[in-house]
Amino acid sequence: MADHDQDRIRSIQRSCTRFLRGHGPMPPAELLAALPDPIEPDSYGTGGVVAELEREVAAVLGKAGAVFLPSGTMAQQIALRVHSDRSGRRTVVLHPTSHPVLHEDGAAQRLHGLHLRPVGDSRRLLELADLEAVAELPAALLLELPQRELGGLLPDWDELGAQLSWAARRGAATHLDGARLWECTPHYQRSPAEICAGFDTVYVSFYKGLGGISGCCLAGEHDIIAEAREWRQRHGGTLFALWPYAASALAALRTRLPRMPDYLAHARAVAEALAGLDGVEVAPDPPVVPMLHLYLRGSPQTLREIALRRAQETGIWTWAGVAATDLPGRGVVELTVGDATMGFAPEEVREVIAGLLRG
Amino acid sequence: MADHDQDRIRSIQRSCTRFLRGHGPMPPAELLAALPDPIEPDSYGTGGVVAELEREVAAVLGKAGAVFLPSGTMAQQIALRVHSDRSGRRTVVLHPTSHPVLHEDGAAQRLHGLHLRPVGDSRRLLELADLEAVAELPAALLLELPQRELGGLLPDWDELGAQLSWAARRGAATHLDGARLWECTPHYQRSPAEICAGFDTVYVSFYKGLGGISGCCLAGEHDIIAEAREWRQRHGGTLFALWPYAASALAALRTRLPRMPDYLAHARAVAEALAGLDGVEVAPDPPVVPMLHLYLRGSPQTLREIALRRAQETGIWTWAGVAATDLPGRGVVELTVGDATMGFAPEEVREVIAGLLRG
């Protein structure tokens, strides 16, 4: 994208007064104002608000310990490396759309010598049969709950249990990519701790659904977390001061985790309101977490230009990017439901989407 | 150290009203208050205040480009990895007290397959003869200016040039660990850009002498910096939001870089004031950067307890840790001169140190 196009987009976004997705743009001043006061600082990731967050997250996830890290990319590589070193195995079995496969440019291989083995089909959830087709004994099975690239899909609870049992039978560790774990609880009607119970290690993020500045935690048994702390240092993640992220994460966790049921209810109401609208298909329908993928009639490029023009006309920011799909003349967008979305009644969301489709 | 001892130290430190070293304790509220307002956020390390900082640092260091990273541990591994990949060599020649040797737990080896080869003597600066004893062709020569573990020592300008020429003759890249580079300029009477000119890559820190929250930059030619950005992502350092650190770094750079000559003048005046005091030796004397190592008569354990008791009596915080030395009955402490130290006249520093020696 050319620089002037970036500038145009930024300028239109700035002129908007309402935002359809997530928690809206969250300017620094707003994020800083939400920090607890006073903040007890850490020293190289030890003590203070970092330790407080780690204790709280471990308790919420039902794990013995947790360590704060700057990013999920770092956290998950470290978890997988620890499982690999403990088993003497190098293969990680995971879905083709998992974050390490799509978004980390081979880091687990290049930095840790791990072999990522995607199994199953990128257009559907992993199934037990996909795992049973794997002959080698992997170091770990990585599962993502909910699965972002599939619009937040979740496996049935029993299917999840069967996949975890498969890993146990193979002597493989189980790791949960819980970047959006907080969003799962209303669908499963289970607490985060119940969902995490079957996993050896769990990564959770603080900036996506929760709306913190950045950062994440890795949780598990004490010995694994202690080993992860050593790797955090080697990765360059044990910063002199981690308190800005940890303080923001703690505030976000306490504010927004209780709102997840409301976000999901709203996502379902939005999906219902969109049901009769020609030119849009919702997936999954009904939503299982506060996230919808909307398949829109129109070319991605045309839809994008309409969205930018509508933003200028209405002051409502929707999308600056519409992804291509397998079907010609159909684009797809992700609608994450957060504080900003809650300001739109389902009928108003329908109106906004209808506006994009009208052109 | 037992937890209750940590608590005791923290409680004594909190009760203090003046601080001898550096910029003092820098509580979060103070660091946050120093941030520019408004802050233009980045998106995954791109744009906003991060780009502004990168441009400013590249200009100050006289390099084509710079990339912001969360930590020096990450930045230096990445620089060395890029040099290694470009030359097809794996060995890095460096001083035995350099950061990768002492403080990174073999990360460059474990994550990047690099071989660290310490040369020279840990008690003195690297010399050309040390380098000439190396037969293999290394990927890179890493030099630290000034050398922290040696009390901030700097090689003569001509000696530095000779060492860089050695690397050039071997086809080795040159990397500068400039964690405290800002402190060098008054001694060399040269700008940061002049000091950096002989190096292919330069790492500079924002939280040590400059007093930012955390983070650093790596600077060099555009192609190297572009490659470093790829590695930043793989390391897990391309966070969703880097603006808290970058904004703090920019404020700190603009505020404190111009103060370095004053800090050095003060360090020299302190060294002079300590000259006649029995039981203390200053190294180096005179200081070459705003940092002094003080060798104090007394066992490290006794000196530590005296320092804590004096802190309670006087409200002046000095040290909670005194390191052992080769000489029995002699401890060593580091006195970094910053904003807090500037509040003590040299004679008062002498009084504080004399108090520790009296017991």
Chain A contact probe: residue of B239, B245, B248 with most A CBs at under 10 A:
B239
DSSP A151: T
Q: Which residues contact A302 (CB under 8 A, 6 or more apart)?
A: A359
Six token digits for residue A263 = 């976000």
Amino acid residing at B49: V
Per-residue pLDDT in tens (0 to 9) along chain B, 359 residues: 456 788 899 999 999 999 999 999 999 999 999 999 999 999 999 999 999 999 999 999 999 999 999 999 999 999 999 999 999 999 999 999 999 999 999 999 999 999 999 999 999 999 999 999 999 999 999 999 999 999 999 999 999 999 999 999 999 999 999 999 999 999 999 999 999 999 999 999 999 999 999 999 999 999 999 999 999 999 999 999 999 999 999 999 999 999 999 999 999 999 999 998 999 999 999 999 999 999 999 999 999 999 999 999 999 999 998 999 998 899 999 999 999 999 999 999 999 999 999 98
What pLDDT score was predicted for residue A50? 98
- C-alpha A213/C-alpha B305 separation (Å) is 41
- C-alpha A319/C-alpha A293 separation (Å) is 13
Six token digits for residue B75 = 């930045």
Six token digits for residue A82 = 């620890």
Amino acid residing at A69: L
Amino acid residing at A358: R
Q: Do the bridges between strand B140-144 and strand A216-220 make them parallel or antiparallel, or are there none, so unpaired?
A: unpaired
Q: Are A180 and A257 in contact (CB under 8 A)?
A: no
What pLDDT score was predicted for residue B93? 98
Q: Do the bridges between strand B18-19 and strand A316-317 make them parallel or antiparallel, or are there none, so unpaired?
A: unpaired
Assembly ipTM: 0.96
Q: What kind and span of H or E run contains B332?
A: strand B330-336
Across the interface, whether the CB atoms of A234 and B111 are under 8 A apart is answered yes
Residues of B in contact with A238 (CB under 8 A): 71, 73
Residue A243: which of B28, B236, B241 has the nearest Cβ?
B28
- C-alpha A73/C-alpha A77 separation (Å) is 6
User: Chain centroid to CA A163: how far?
Assistant: 21
Q: Do the bridges between strand A201-205 and strand A216-220 make them parallel or antiparallel, or are there none, so unpaired?
A: antiparallel
Q: What is the pTM of this model?
A: 0.96
Give pLDDT tens digits for B21-71. Answer: 999 999 999 999 999 999 999 999 999 999 999 999 999 999 999 999 999
Residue B239: which of A29, A32, A71 has the nearest Cβ?
A71
Six token digits for residue B284 = 């180096």
Residues of B in contact with A227 (CB under 8 A): none
Q: Are B94 and B117 in contact (CB under 8 A)?
A: yes
CB neighbour class for A289 (10 Å; exposed up to 12, middle 13-18, buried from 19): buried
Q: Give average pLDDT by consecutive 10-residue segment, chain A, 359 residues.
A: 78 96 96 96 97 98 98 98 98 98 97 98 97 98 96 97 98 98 95 98 97 98 98 98 98 97 98 96 96 96 96 97 92 98 98 96
State how far residue B88 is from chain A, nearest Cα, in angstroms.
15
Nearest 5°: the CA angle A147, A179, A9 is: 85
Within 13 A of B60's CA, how many CA atoms are on the CB side?
22
Q: Are A207 and A190 in contact (CB under 8 A)?
A: no
What pLDDT score was predicted for residue A7? 86
What's the distance, Cα to Cα, between the start and end of chain B in Å? Answer: 23
What pLDDT score was predicted for residue B6? 84
CB neighbour class for B144 (10 Å; exposed up to 12, middle 13-18, buried from 19): buried
Chain A contact probe: residue of B234, B238, B243 with most A CBs at under 10 A:
B234
Residue of A149, A169, A153 lying closest to A161 (CA atoms): A169
Length of chain A: 359
What pLDDT score was predicted for residue A2? 59
Across the interface, whether the CB atoms of A235 and B234 are under 8 A apart is answered no
Size of interface A-B (CB pairs under 8 A): 126
Residue B237: which of A29, A236, A247 has the nearest Cβ?
A236
- C-alpha A157/C-alpha A125 separation (Å) is 13
CB neighbour class for B45 (10 Å; exposed up to 12, middle 13-18, buried from 19): buried
State the CB neighbour count (10 A cutoff) for residue A254: 12
Across the interface, whether the CB atoms of A237 and B239 are under 8 A apart is answered no
State how far residue A230 is from chain B, nearest Cα, in angstroms.
8
- C-alpha B87/C-alpha B321 separation (Å) is 42
3-state DSSP: chain A helix, strand, coil percent, rounded to 5?
Answer: 45, 20, 35
Residues of B in contact with A239 (CB under 8 A): 70-71, 214-215
